[in-house]
Amino acid sequence: MRMAAAAAAGLLATSAVAQTVPTNSAADAPICTDRPTKSNFACTVPKGLVQIEADGFNWLSSHARGSRTDQLLFSNPTIKYGLSGSSDIQLNWVPFTRVRTRNAAGQITTLSGIGDLTMRFKQRLTNTDGAFQLALLPFVKLPTAPAGIGNRKLEAGLAVPINISAPGGWTVTLGPQLDVLADFDGRGRHLGVTGLVNIAKQLGPFTVYNEIWTSQNFDPSGSVRQYSYDVSLAWLPDARWQFDIGANIGLNRDTPDLVGYIGLSTRF
């Protein structure tokens, strides 16, 4: 889950050990995460266990109309707790971020502070032994970030992670999502939709991900349409740890040019 809700996110991956669609909720099952890439997975944290998924480092770079913006996230942890064999609760928060903008005239402004707080609940709807997996993932974003880093508005949405196992160690993930977003002028709310197709290939303890992602923000002042190609690599040295690295490449001018990150996940 990569909350590009800076929006979500949102966020956000298949287990890289010998399983195709990672769904097992047993305490001794390999860790299954919502990272790397922006995709979410139908798997949940085993009952009574805690799981942490975090960026060790995250850098965003964007150019628009002669200006350049760079944003650094110093950790971006998602803390999960298993409520049952098919559900968990999640909390995502950025403890510190720095945004540096240089406009067309060469003037530089820098903002630093905390990010927004996002609360999520995941309910898996399918059995763990099937090749098709489905979950519901409602979320709400609380405006804890200062103005200039966040929009100071409450926002919410519903993601529907879909995982499909294919022969040969392949996994296909679909990620439809509906968002209720604040208007840019702060006076109302409107809908947005997010979608993605993620194709993952397991290679021993490694998994390679390729993803096409889009966000369609239907703001009354004018729609914003974003598209990116996302690629990443995850490594599971054992059942409780995952390490990953990845990049998101913007495909149009409304999308950040590049997002690069490294991350880790663990469960206990």
pLDDT in tens, 164-188: 999 999 999 999 999 999 999 999 9
- Residues across the chain: 268
Count of other CB atoms within 10 angstroms of residue 115: 22
Query: 238 pLDDT exceeds 50?
Result: yes
Q: Is residue 10 scored above 80 in pLDDT?
A: no
Alpha carbon separation from 34 to 12, 73, 187 (Å, rounded): 4, 18, 33
Q: pLDDT at residue 88 above 60?
A: yes
181-214 residues labelled b (16+ CB within 10 A) or e (exposed): bbeeeeeebbebebebebebebeeeebebebebb
Q: 58 near 259, Cβ under 8 Å?
A: yes
Average pLDDT over every residue of 3-27 = 44
Please give the mean pLDDT across all residues of the chain: 92
Q: Is the CB of residue 1 less than 8 Å from the CB of residue 8?
A: yes
pTM, two decimals, is 0.89
- Domain ranges across the chain: 50-267
For 128, the 3-state DSSP assignment is coil
pLDDT in tens, 126-141: 998 899 999 999 999 9
* pLDDT higher than 50, residue 43: yes
pLDDT at 11: 34
Could you confirm whether domain 50-267 is CATH 2.30.30.100? no
- Distances, alpha carbon 222 to alpha carbons 5, 68, 207, 218, in Å: 19, 22, 39, 7
> Given this model, what pLDDT does residue 20 score?
45
In whole angstroms, give the CA distance from residue 186 to residue 6: 18
Over residues 224-247, the mean pLDDT reads 98
Average pLDDT over residues 215-234: 98
Confidence of residue 1 (pLDDT cuts 50, 70, 90): low
Instruction: Note the pLDDT of residue 103.
Output: 94
Residue 8 has pLDDT above 50, yes or no: no
